[in-house]
Structure 1
């Protein structure tokens, strides 16, 4: 039996590290992230930046790289590549801007790839809350930003990671100042949290409703190019870390050239999936809108359930994060409704322990 999400005391009891409260306070966090970004000082600008590589893993760092790619798709004048492994590509050199992003400062893949970037003489900037990377940044005088550690779960710290990196790219002369759009996003967070917050009852709370409706289904998230591919990836990741449930995602139009054939699989299996389609009435191109319409039309007759969720806000940044915000609440509530604390990542901790043996 599912937990009653209107039982505030019970929900708080399960939510041991205040995941809901942290998410409700994204407006304050992003405001602080804006101040952190404004505090970055670049003493010496690089002569030339040919490309950017972000070294980062997981739901905070790697996702930030993807969001920068999508949000700045038609503005960033150089390629941005996300590197999640132990090694860096051959093309990294002294004209590469390397964004080293590890919230803990100890992520082994990132520490290893950072050392390689150092050896190549790349232009390095470190964003971390401390750890090995924080120590190296201070000792070696590497440009860096130390951000709050919070509860040590970077998937809930996008305001401390994404927003300062936007400011950095602006200070390097690569993009325009985004302060206005960030302030607009912060205002939107303030509005949306009244809709999704714990005190808002399920009957009036779309995030709680979807979280409950997903029970016993496997989430399948469909985003789209150019701006909602990484947002869909974020939803998938959040179902894993917050919701403690496997989920899958893909991107329109790409999926119509391969995955769509899988829609013909056995009906009893396909009925286990719950499709969430991320939509934007303003940013989606007309042919993307039609592809989503046709996708929903076909799958309503085949898949378990289908829901379409729409972006909100006045700017591209706000519209992208409006769907991220909804997904964050949905995945947290989905765990709690099943009696599961959304914060601990026991299997990841166990995996790290096994790796150290």
Structure 2
């Protein structure tokens, strides 16, 4: 096993430590009291920097007091105002799209494009984004990714999960118990198996589906996508007839915590795929804390998070590719610079 491979696996093992480190550190940053007086959150970021937001927004959908809108673009939406908490997230601190947004926000609380008193928080390891934050006196969580030896943002998802939860908790924008937060800070190892291309999930596991697809794309250099139930049932089942060569494989992230109708949809959807002779498998990590529904959901989400990282690594080995090397993404960035 090469050093690169060892570092990749170590990052997976240290996911819980990433959560702990970032939750503790981000909880210490000073935020104005007005930051808690918002009616929405806009999280700006790209690629791996948004994966933690995906997980938190889906896993804690019922506990969040305000909606989280994710922006993967060069500018803020027109509805952003003084009642919006804007998060600028870039693992590297050099993400072009996030820097484009930050460049338009010149004052400590932002006044670009007619927006007054914007509430901003920056999450990054450094780079140009950290410099801009310091210059404009924006609240900044700058972390040292000591628990992500791979150096890949998608393998440092725990840093965004932990820091985002700490910020939401500090501003009283999420209602979670101490037990729930403890669950988010620990992981259990699960066996890895099965090759996948299409991931299907629902409700609190929607963020996991996105994360796993992203990791397979980048780490294993393999095409993967995801669909969410019940939306999938309104179109995709009729889109599997052609091409007739069935080289597609479905992975279902199932859960006993889903709405009963969604559980039934999982069953019927699998029946439809089998009738069309399409390969599939189902993974179900039952959370052991049945006495607390939300905690069992957390255990499930974190188990899938760990499992997905392991899966992407095993697929990379199967495909004989370097999981840390992203030549085409780097090519694109070089051509854009």
Same fold (TM over 0.5): yes
Does the CA-based 8 Å contact 1:23-1:156 persist in structure 2?
yes
Residues 289-304 of structure 1: matches in 2 within 5 Å?
A: 289-304=263-278
Residue 83 of structure 1, CA deviation: 0.3
Task: Report the count of equivalent residues.
Answer: 319
Encode CA deviations 1:104-124: one digit per residue, 9 max, x unaligned.
Answer: 111110111223353223100
Give the Cα separation in 2 of the matches to 1:221 and 1:55.
25
Aligned pair 1:273/2:240, yes or no?
no
Encode CA deviations 1:135-167: one digit per residue, 9 max, x unaligned.
Answer: 122222211101124443211112211111111
Aligned pair 1:248/2:248, yes or no?
no
Give the Cα separation in 2 of the matches to 1:141 and 1:180.
34
Encode CA deviations 1:68-100: one digit per residue, 9 max, x unaligned.
Answer: 221221222222110010011111112210011
Residues 89-104 of structure 1: matches in 2 within 5 Å?
A: 89-104=77-92
Does the CA-based 8 Å contact 2:286-2:300 persist in structure 1?
yes
Give the Cα separation in 1 of the matches to 2:177 and 2:214.
26
Identify which of 80, 88, 96 aligns with 2:76: 88
In the other structure, the counterpart of 1:6 is none
Where 1:82 maps in the other structure, the secondary structure is strand
Residue 40 of structure 1, CA deviation: 2.5
In the other structure, the counterpart of 1:127 is 123
Does the CA-based 8 Å contact 2:44-2:71 persist in structure 1?
yes
Aligned pair 1:223/2:198, yes or no?
no
Aligned pair 1:264/2:241, yes or no?
yes
TM-score, normalised relative to structure 2: 0.88
Does the CA-based 8 Å contact 2:29-2:141 persist in structure 1?
yes
In the other structure, the counterpart of 1:180 is 179
Query: What runs of 5+ residues in structure 2 fail to find an aligned partner?
Result: 290-294
Identify which of 17, 20, 36 aligns with 2:9: 20
In the other structure, the counterpart of 1:8 is none
Identify which of 206, 214, 235 aligns with 1:237: 214
Does the CA-based 8 Å contact 1:181-1:318 persist in structure 2?
no
Query: Alpha carbons of 1:14 and 1:235: their partners in 2 closer, same or farther (altered >3 Å)?
Result: same
Give the Cα separation in 2 of the matches to 1:178 and 1:103.
28
TM-score, normalised relative to structure 1: 0.84
Aligned pair 1:353/2:329, yes or no?
no
Where 1:275 maps in the other structure, the secondary structure is strand
Where 1:46 maps in the other structure, the secondary structure is helix
Where 1:227 maps in the other structure, the secondary structure is helix
Give the Cα separation in 1 of the matches to 2:21 and 2:35.
27
Give the Cα separation in 2 of the matches to 1:13 and 1:132.
32
Give the Cα separation in 2 of the matches to 1:56 and 1:47.
21
Query: What runs of 5+ residues in structure 1 fail to find an aligned partner?
Result: 1-11, 196-205
Structure 1 vs Structure 2 CA RMSD: 1.9
Give the Cα separation in 2 of the matches to 1:77 and 1:44.
16
Query: Alpha carbons of 1:182 and 1:50: their partners in 2 closer, same or farther (altered >3 Å)?
Result: closer
In the other structure, the counterpart of 2:313 is 332
Residue 231 of structure 1, CA deviation: 1.3
Where 2:85 maps in the other structure, the secondary structure is strand
Encode CA deviations 1:271-313: one digit per residue, 9 max, x unaligned.
Answer: 20111001001x1111101100011112123244211001332
